[in-house]
Amino acid sequence: MPFARPVRSARPAVLFLAGALLLAGCGSSGPADSTGPAGKSGAAGRPVRLDNCGRQVLVDGPPRRAVSLNQGTTEIMLSLGLADRMVGTATWTDPVAEGLQKANAKVKRLADDAPSFETVLDTEPDFVAASFASTLGKGGVAPREQFAKLGVPTYLSPSDCVGKDNSGDGDGVRTEPLTMDAVYGEVRDLAEVFGVRERGERLVAGLKSRVTRATAGLDARGVTLMYWFANSRSPYLAGCCGAPGIVTDALGAKNAFDDTDQEWPQVNWETVADRDPDLLVIGDLTRRQQTAETAAKKIEFLESNPVTKNMTAVKKKRYVLLSGQAMNPTVRTVEGIEKVAAALRGQGLAG
């Protein structure tokens, strides 16, 4: 997901105070599911050790003061019933998912975009999770090493590191196609960390069931899709193998830009028009970072721009609107599968 984040630094005095508080609180534990173990090295309340994005993460006990730095990890935690264990969220592109509004209202929003390291430390966190390597890296909130120095374990969504190279500019390059298994693995990891394994299994089972229902009997072979996330000057279009690739593959369709393994390459409008997809999947965002964030602004641009207004999908108004989270590798990727499947059927493009 395209983001621009400023570099921020914390005051030494705040770091010293927060570090003392955090180190004192890292061994605390909270409630867990009443049945079954919840850690990879022991029962609920015992240390959990994870191999996460090339790092060994040790969590002494179920967190009680967790911070989620991206909407994706936030919605997983809320879906697992962990609002009472969270002290902050940040970096939102959309309204919270349906059914999570009440739980979300209980958790303080530290910032709509990326908070400062200092702001995060002020919550005295005992666990920090993020969806994107850029959030827990240089130029983001802070590198994972800075949290580690203070004794705060961090977790990064596997979907942004497994089979992905984030070393260059932009939003990274996929070295292998992303699958929903990465999202299911994240749900299970976080359920382990918080000692709520059974909730994690129920959530995964529900997501798998929704995918099965959405795709049952669907035949979209030969149908081309194009995913526009944001920016009208130099649009971010989905490459082959990220979350939109999961949606496309689940439906048996074809991504108009399946010849690039960049996560969100910026493409000129002439190339977009040449690819001429059957259906345009349009990000409908509420954030205010790029040009043409909302679906309404995107459609207004498409229908007035001389390069794009004669595209097949534009002339026939074949649009499907998705939240930013449904276009990212999150639990809401399933929402993307459901909505695009419904649009294909509704437009008569698939059985």
Q: Which domains does the chain have, with CATH numbers?
A: 15-208 (3.40.50.1980), 219-346 (3.40.50.1980)
Is the pLDDT confidence value at 138 over 70? yes
Residue 263 has pLDDT above 60, yes or no: yes
Q: What are phi and psi of 98, to 5 degrees?
A: -55, 140
Is the pLDDT confidence value at 31 over 50? no
What is the rounded CA–CA span in Å between residue 314 and residue 316?
A: 5
Mean pLDDT of 147-162: 97
For residue 268, report the phi and psi dihedrals to the nearest 5 degrees. Answer: -80, 155
Between the alpha carbon of residue 92 and those of residues 6, 75, 83, 231, the distances in Å are: 16, 11, 17, 17
* Residue 39, beta-bridge partner list: 42
Burial 255-284 (b: 16+ CB within 10 A, else e): bbbbebbbbbbebebeebbeeebbbbbbbb
Looking at residue 289, its pLDDT comes to: 79
The alpha-carbon radius of gyration of the chain (Å, integer) is 21
Average pLDDT score, the chain: 89
Task: Determine the pLDDT at residue 340.
Answer: 98
- For residue 209, the model assigns a pLDDT of 98
| pLDDT, tens digit (0-9, with 9 covering 90-100), for 88-129 | 999 998 999 999 999 999 999 999 999 999 999 999 999 999
Q: State the average pLDDT over residues 299-321.
A: 97
pLDDT over threshold 80, residue 22? no
Q: Does the structure show a pLDDT above 80 at 2? A: no
Residue 216 has pLDDT above 50, yes or no: yes
* Residue 58 Cα to chain centre, angstroms: 23
* Sign of the alpha-carbon torsion through 150, 329, 260, 5: negative
pLDDT, residue 351, reads 75
- Residues of the chain with pLDDT > 70, as a percent, come to 87
Measured between alpha carbons, how far is 333 from 186 in angstroms, rounded to an integer?
Answer: 13
